[in-house]
Structure 1
Amino acid sequence: MITTFDELRLLADIGGTNARFALQTGPGQFECIEVLSCAQHATIGDAMSAYLALAGQRGYAVQSVRHAAIAIANPVESDVVSMTNHHWSFSISGLRTERNLATLLVVNDFTALAMSLPYLQPSQRERIGGGEELHGRAIGLIGPGTGLGVGGVIPAGTGWVPLASEGGHATFAPNNREEARILDFLWNEFGHVSAERLLSGMGLELIHRARTGERLAAPDITGRALDGQGAESAACEATVKMFCAILGSVAGNVALTLGATGGMYIGGGIVPRLGKLFSESQFRQRFEDKGRLSSYLARIPTYLITEQYPALIGVAAMLSAKIAAEQ
């Protein structure tokens, strides 16, 4: 039997460029997903109004929306949220009043992504390597994109609690002499070298420059690597392979730190674009390469998130928990 809500719920996943909206009609049921350009709307309230008007034109009873949740690419530490990668700034309580909402939840987008992990179906993820997840155990998350997100979720009663983390800024440790040479190169430029310095869009560029001396944008590096033609492609492919190997080591560190026997997930915008360059890389080998703890890591499965809108799944779960707690 399909369960539906008495009222539609509004969900949003907002980045610096695009705002993804959906209406939730029941558990795991998302409809009318639309992506709006942030630049085309003066405020977040205007973007919400534009989306609801569009949904209304399509026959959805948007006047029934009384509960909403927003996952946003920004710290959420007080009532006022000022985006660091866009000009939108708003008061959560003010926006709730403006929209006449009974509930408005605003959370960091990576927190919402972490909360999606227990609810992802096999069709929404791709297994990388072996291992077998233990149900009801901690789940880890790492996501290279503009920066490096690190987090996870732990079981709490019948639900889950997300772990806020700045683990992407933990100090990078090389695994071999070539990585030690790259670390030495980056020390001269930055002093402290975090994992994020290498595992991000900027990190791809830095690895490539340290290896070849060539300044190349991250999309060009991955594009040439995927092209597979010529010496330039080979150099870029080597850069991507090193990126994937380092990601495996850092993901293994996160899994050890959290005891993530419920699985370790890879999100972010970079890895899904790499295709076989990632699935056939040394990622899994390096994930397990932890000396005396290698057998422990070998039992932990690793997954690439393939769901297009996973943050909506996570923020929907958080909204349901908040509504239940308030009733």
Structure 2
Amino acid sequence: MGGTNARFALETAPGNIGLVHVLACAAYPTLAAALQAYLALPDVAAAAAGQGIRHGAIAIANPVTGDLVRMTNHHWEFSIEALRRECGFALLAVVNDFTALARSLPLLSDAQKLQVGGGTALAGAPLGLIGAGTGLGVSGLIPSAAGWTALLSEGGHVSFPPMDETEIAILRFAWREFEHVSAERLLSGVGIELIYRALAEQRGVAAEPLPAPEIARRALAGECALCDAVIEAFCTMLGTIAGNLGVTLGAQGGIYIGGGIVPRLGERFARSGFRARFEAKGRFRNYLAAVPTFIITAEYPAFLGVSAILAERLAAA
């Protein structure tokens, strides 16, 4: 569940995940309404006929710290227990979406990730996860004798750290709109739009009312030098935050990049300043040069993670 779309799937046997449907969050007044709309779809209802659906698991773009969940980037709020009863589930697990995505990382095949830059993953070491979309998600996966522990992190809300004069100018522009400028304010869809307005002012040109997808499209098509500069700034700033995560977690198993934005940038991201900025940590440059960075290319990787979490909860019940 993101701030824009809710993606549903049905697991009919362990690891057998299908019947994926994407519903727009804005089209439904509540999460329960969206969930019930999915369950009522003909193919889903037919697959569940006879045996019913006994358990559910939700990965949501929000902190999950108790029974009541209020979404940060959407108006939905709900009680986990009330939703469980309303849907008739024996067990309903609700976790942060990046906790679920982090749990999927060891399950990804080589074909479901793309390495950017050098480095070699160290077996048994922590993994880091970052991803920009509607917001900026951050998590990590810590190994132990009992398996993997996914971190419930709100690292996207750390204060944004500018690294050069251009980024200082972007930060000063953003301060005119926000008292606190987090990494998420700039490394997200609306953040791309904010960077665009800031760089337009810095260059003394009129900013068009462009949404983030159009800024990215013009950049990738080579139609707009300003839009390309915006995407370059976005990529390098993401490198800063990813590098910070790498040294914070000691993520020598690798840093993984998810979310909806980076996978769509393709080759433009690979040739951006992301990796150089990721490694630009002074005395720790060699340390980060050895840490690989991967773009998650799997279409719906969080389903793998939330399925694993649900299986663990059922085993412990």
TM-score (norm 1): 0.86
Unaligned runs of 5+ in 2: 202-206
Amino acid aligned to 2:18: E
Aligned equivalents of 1:149, 1:314: Cα separation in 2: 15
SS at match of 1:152: strand
Q: Map Cα deviations across residues 50-77 of structure 1 (whole Å, 9 max, x no partner).
A: 4334345544446342221111223322
Alignment counterpart, residue 306 of structure 2, candidates 294, 315, 327 = 315
Q: Map Cα deviations across residues 167-192 of structure 1 (whole Å, 9 max, x no partner).
A: 22222222222223333333454344
Give the structure 1 partner of residue 15 of structure 2: 28
SS at match of 2:298: coil
Q: Map of 1:73-92 to 2, 5 A cutoff?
A: 73-92=61-80
Alignment counterpart, residue 214 of structure 2, candidates 211, 214, 220 = 220
Instruction: Say yes or no: does 1:253 pair with 2:244.
Output: yes
Aligned equivalents of 1:63, 1:42: Cα separation in 2: 29
Q: Map Cα deviations across residues 57-101 of structure 1 (whole Å, 9 max, x no partner).
A: 544446342221111223322223344544544322222223332
Q: Map Cα deviations across residues 218-252 of structure 1 (whole Å, 9 max, x no partner).
A: 222112101213xxx11111111121111112111
Q: Is the 8 A contact 2:73 2:134 kept in 1?
A: no
Distance apart, 1:202 and its partner CA: 2.3
Aligned equivalents of 2:55, 2:170: Cα separation in 1: 49
Aligned equivalents of 1:42, 1:194: Cα separation in 2: 29
Aligned equivalents of 2:176, 2:39: Cα separation in 1: 51
Instruction: Say yes or no: does 1:111 pair with 2:99.
Output: yes
Aligned equivalents of 1:184, 1:73: Cα separation in 2: 28
Amino acid aligned to 1:228: G
Amino acid aligned to 1:289: A
Give the structure 1 partner of residue 136 of structure 2: 148
TM-score (norm 2): 0.89
Aligned equivalents of 1:270, 1:281: Cα separation in 2: 14
Give the structure 1 partner of residue 168 of structure 2: 180
Aligned equivalents of 1:312, 1:319: Cα separation in 2: 10
Distance apart, 1:275 and its partner CA: 1.6
SS at match of 1:35: strand
Q: Is the 8 A contact 2:162 2:168 kept in 1?
A: yes
Bigger mean CA offset, 295-304 vs 171-180: 171-180
Give the structure 2 partner of residue 158 of structure 1: 146
Distance apart, 1:206 and its partner CA: 2.2
Unaligned runs of 5+ in 1: 1-13
Amino acid aligned to 1:34: H
Q: Is the 8 A contact 1:52 1:62 kept in 2?
A: no
Matched pairs, number: 310
| Distance change >3 Å, CA 180–CA 52, structure 1 → 2 | closer
Aligned equivalents of 1:204, 1:56: Cα separation in 2: 37
Instruction: Say yes or no: does 1:125 pair with 2:113.
Output: yes
Amino acid aligned to 1:225: A
| Percentage of pairs with the same residue | 57
RMSD between aligned alpha carbons? 2.2
Give the structure 1 partner of residue 39 of structure 2: 52
